[in-house]
Chain A
Amino acid sequence: MSGGGGGVAAGEELAVFAEAVAGEGDMAAAISALRRTVGDAGWVDAAGVAATFNAIDRVADATGIPLEPKKAAVSADFRGALAIDAWADARG
């Protein structure tokens, strides 16, 4: 189940690819669809982005770094709407 395309070109294919990277979908099918829409070089670059963020999230989570004050300020409205702060606080 993808989360939609977000109004981005090839967004649906990128979302399905992200889910496959996260172990929630068929990687071969996701690659095939992505390749058709962004081409071979686009697929390689997407794989690089996926490889980066699947790891960088773990660095952030494992070191307990806080959100920068500037980012906290500009994201306060939607973090509040989504109750993300309570989620983060619960993690200790």
Chain B
Amino acid sequence: MGYPDAPVPIRADIPAAHARAWAWIAAPGNWLTGAERVAIAAETRHALDCRLCAARKKALSPEAVTGEHDGLGVLEPPMVEIVHRIVTDPARLTRRWFEARLAEGVEVTRYVETVGVTAVTVSLDTFARSMGLPLRRLPEPKPGEPSGYLPASARMEEAWVPLILHGEETGAEADIYSGVPRAYILMALTLVPEAKRAFFDLVETQYLPSRWMRAFDVEHRAISHAQIEFLAARISALNQCVY
């Protein structure tokens, strides 16, 4: 896939990480098939042209506008609602909205995996747009069934979804935090461990490895720590993210 059309050199670890991310999307996951995951990636892109999402975004409350999403017709309506809302109006997601999706029959495991696939796709597409490049072609889904793997140490705490809490990682997830400081964002996707690993593989490549985040005496990127954190904070503010 790569970026042979990029107007400037892109450091090699980025296209390598992106290739791993696209391969992760295309493969069967813990709870979704490869075809479902590629359909989620396609719906992530399609959400930006959804008329219902556009009308909701303008409304005082997204719940005030009813109708059907302009979906691609592959995913079930509750899954389309999940993907479209995460893409177009994430700041106004609520626990009540989340619970309504579960009531519609979406298992929490499939929900968390959907969040992971959607977020990875948003990240890959944001990079392309930020480089002034067309979006990359979606991968062909790989055959096979989801593993159905559920980490034994995941449990409910304060988030909407079960997590593997820092300090409780065991078994196949014993290395999932690799000694990094406790932060809920690192735990958010751990109900589907491979989603956590895939997303943070991208984070560490595109942003900073955790060991560099507070290493202020050395600059590892072509922009400084201050510039990186300023840009990150500005984007989070524009997204109205209060985490």
Tell me, yes or no, whether A28 is within 8 Å of chain B by CB: yes
- The interface residues of chain A lying within 8 Å CB-to-CB of B86 are 58, 61-62
Question: Is the beta-carbon distance between A9 and B131 smaller than 8 angstroms?
Answer: no
B206–A58 contact, CB under 8 A? Answer: no
Instruction: Flag the segment in B28-36, B171-179, B216-224 that touches A.
Output: B216-224
Majority secondary structure of chain B interface residues (helix, strand, loop or mixed): helix
**A77: CB under 8 A from chain B?**
no
Classify the interface of chain A: helix, strand, loop or mixed.
Answer: helix
Q: Which of B65-73, B92-100, B137-145, B147-155 binds A?
A: B92-100
Query: With a CB–CB cut-off of 8 A, which chain B residues contact A48?
Result: 14, 127, 205-207
Q: Mark A27-64, 1 if CB is under 8 A from B, else 0.
A: 11001000000111111111111111111111111111
- B interface size (C-beta, 8 A): 68
A88 within 8 A of B: yes
B136 interfacial contact with A, CB 8 Å: no
Contact assessment for B223 and A42 in the assembled complex, using a CB-CB cutoff below 8 Å: yes
Chain B residues with CB under 8 A of A64: 93, 95, 98, 159-161
- Expressed in whole angstroms, the minimum distance between the Cβ of B48 and any Cβ of chain A is 8
CB proximity of A64 to chain B, nearest CB, Å: 3
Say yes or no: A21 contacts B221, CB within 8 Å.
Answer: no
Indicate with 1 or 0, residue by residue over B111-145, a CB within 8 angstroms of chain A CB atoms: 01001101110111011011110000000000000
Looking at A48, A54, A56, A58, the one whose CB has the most chain B CB atoms below 10 A away is A48
- Which residues of A are interface residues toward B (Cβ below 8 A)? 3, 6, 8-11, 14-15, 17-19, 21-22, 24, 27-28, 31, 38-68, 84, 87-88, 91-92
